[in-house]
Amino acid sequence: MSATVIATPAWPSSYGEEAKPHVGFFTDTSICIGCKACEVACKEWNHVPDDTQGFTGDSYDNSGALGANRWRHVAFIEQRKPLGVSEAAPDSLVQEAALQSLVH
């Protein structure tokens, strides 16, 4: 993951001198393990307040969805997946990290 400057239109003029270059997250999902450190780092760097949802019961994800106080979110989707030995563990599931982020 790295912050990359990308060519985008200028920010709305209302930002005036506060306008900053447009940046986004690059996430390589092929090596992402869903540790959510990017969620924490995003909040740290941008001084985004905590907004606890309590225990959601949604796998290991308790941060829910993107919002005013969550500019980056790693969702966990539990789904059945045949593993290397199909007859061994027919009920095994895979947990996949689905990444969402708000470009800001």
Partner 1 sequence: MAECHPVGFQWVMEAKQRGAKVIHVDPRFTRTSAVADLHVPIRAGSDIAFLGGIVNYILENERWFPEYVRTFTNAATIITEEFADTEDLDGLFSGFDPERGSYDNASWQYEGMQATAAGGERRASPTGEQAHGAHGGALDGGDPPATDPTLQHPRCVFQLLRKHYRRYTPAMVEETCGIPRAAFLEVAESLCENSGRERTSAFVYSVGWTQHTVGAQYIRTAAIIQLLLGNMGRPGGGILALRGHASIQGSTDIPTLYNILPGYLPMPRPAHTDRQTYIDHNTPPTGYWGHADAYVTSLLKAWWPNGTEENDFCFGHLPRITGDHSIYPTILDMRDGGVQGFFLLGENPGVGSAHSKLHRLAMANLDWLVVRDLQEIESASFWRDAPEIETGELVTEEIGTEVFFLPAAAHTEKAGTFTNTQRLLQWRHKALEPKEDCRSDLWFMYHLGRRIREKLARREDPKDAPVLDLAWDYPTEGKTLDPSADAVLMEISGRDAAGRQVSGYTELKADGSTTCGCWIYAGCYADGVNQPARRKPATEQTWVAPEWGWAWPSNRRILYNRASADPDGNPWSERKRYVWWDADQGRWTGYDVPDFKVDMAPDYRPPPGARAEDALRGDAPFIMQADGRGWLFVPSGLTDGPFPTHYEPYESPVANPLYRQRANPTVLHFDRPDNPYHPSAGDPGAEVFPYVMTTYRLTEHHTAGAMSRTLPYLSELQPEMFCEVSPALARERGLAHGDWATIVSARTAIEARVLVTERVVPLRVQGRVVHQVGLPYHWGPRGISRGDSANDLFPLALDSNVHIQEVKAATCDVRPGRRPRGPALLELISDYRRRAGA
Q: Which residue ranges make up the site for partner 1 (CB under 8 A)?
A: 30-31, 33-37, 39-40, 43-44, 50-57, 59-60, 62-63, 78, 80, 83-85, 87-89, 91-97
Is 21 or 90 the residue whose CB approaches partner 1 more closely?
90
Beta-bridged to residue 63, according to DSSP, are none
Say which residues have a Cβ less than 8 Å from residue 65's Cβ, sequence separation at least 6.
73, 100
Say which residues have a Cβ less than 8 Å from residue 88's Cβ, sequence separation at least 6.
none
Is 81 or 104 the residue whose CB approaches partner 1 more closely?
81
Is 24 or 64 the residue whose CB approaches partner 1 more closely?
64
DSSP 8-state code for residue 63: S
